[in-house]
Amino acid sequence: MSEDSDTTQARSRLLKPARPSEDQVRQLNDLSRRDYFPALARLSLFPENRSRKAYTVVRDIYLRFADSWWSKLMDIVELPLSKEERSKLVAEIKDEQKRMKEVELWLKPPEAPLSLDQALKFIKAAPSVAWQKTVMSRVGKRSRPGQPASKRRLALHALDIKCAYPHTSLSEATNRLCPCGRQKHLPQCRDQLRQQIIKLVKFLREHGLISSGSISRLGSGNRLNNSTTPVKYSPNSLHPCNLLF
């Protein structure tokens, strides 16, 4: 089988997420305030897409932070807290929000992590000043004209392609994903993508989702490493072979 048809196959295995049905959207409105954002995040902000394996593990990381972040926000809004308890929670919320933003950069362009409309809807649901500020700080800021879009999510797509079809080369992934607009991509295009992939692999390793060996192997070139060292993975981890370009 030629490499070209390999790549075509890889593409066809990566599907778009299903659009939420009207029923699912209607059901969102029946949820309690506490359940609302976690459900919205799963249904609409970062919908499930099992065809994208790398996306799925990064999405899981995001949802863990988002659930905890939201639950603490709700505690501030709904529970009678002492001043001390409140400031402890606020510090935790800020920290989790920072982590969520970092994870979001891998998942989607930085322009719109949360739209203004969505934010206003949340605020209407809970009229607390502290909460309003927190929600508003998550509203996506438009990037300046000419500012390059984050390349991080391209790295995630590259790993999705690699998981869907392991024989994809870095050149093929670059041809498919690089947004430079050239007909023939430059070595720099590949290098940029590789750098982002290395960062993503490091991020996944920090979250215990891949083995430590994958990074040095990924960074050392395009060749498959024949290491036979056994590695333990968590059930949701990505097999390191998937990450070799």
DSSP-H helix ranges across the chain: 3-13, 22-29, 33-40, 53-78, 83-107, 116-125, 129-137, 152-164, 170-177, 187-206, 213-219
Of 10 and 189, the one with the shorter C-beta distance to Zn ion is 189
Q: Segment 16-55, which members bind Zn ion (CB under 5 A)?
A: none
Q: How far is the CB of 123 from Zn ion (least distance, A)?
A: 41
Q: Is 73 in the site for Zn ion (CB under 5 A)?
A: no
Instruction: Please give the span between the terminal C-alpha atoms of the chain, in angstroms, as a whole number.
Output: 18
Rounded to an integer, what distance in angstroms lies between the CA atom of residue 196 and that of residue 176?
15
Of 41 and 154, the one with the shorter C-beta distance to Zn ion is 154
Q: Which residues, other chains included, contact 167 with Cβ-Cβ below 8 Å and sequence gap of 6+?
A: 3, 6
Q: How far is the CB of 185 from Zn ion (least distance, A)?
A: 4
Q: Is 180 in the site for Zn ion (CB under 5 A)?
A: yes
Considering just the CA atoms, what is the radius of gyration of the chain in Å?
A: 20
Q: Is 189 in the site for Zn ion (CB under 5 A)?
A: yes
Site string for Zn ion, 139-178 (x = CB under 5 A): ---------------------------------------x
DSSP-based three-state secondary structure for 114: coil
Rounded to an integer, what distance in angstroms lies between the CA atom of residue 14 and that of residue 21?
21
Q: Is 58 in the site for Zn ion (CB under 5 A)?
A: no
C-alpha angle 17-18-20 in degrees, rounded to nearest 5: 125
Residue in 34, 101, 185, 207 binding Zn ion, rule: CB under 5 A: 185
Length of the chain: 245
Residues touching Zn ion: how many (CB under 5 A)? 4
Rounded to an integer, what distance in angstroms lies between the CA atom of residue 45 and that of residue 114?
8
Q: How far is the CB of 159 from Zn ion (least distance, A)?
A: 18
Of 159 and 177, the one with the shorter C-beta distance to Zn ion is 177
Q: Which residues, other chains included, contact 125 with Cβ-Cβ below 8 Å and sequence gap of 6+?
A: 33, 36
Of 103 and 178, the one with the shorter C-beta distance to Zn ion is 178
Of 50 and 182, the one with the shorter C-beta distance to Zn ion is 182
Of 118 and 192, the one with the shorter C-beta distance to Zn ion is 192
Site residues (vs Zn ion, CB under 5 A): 178, 180, 185, 189
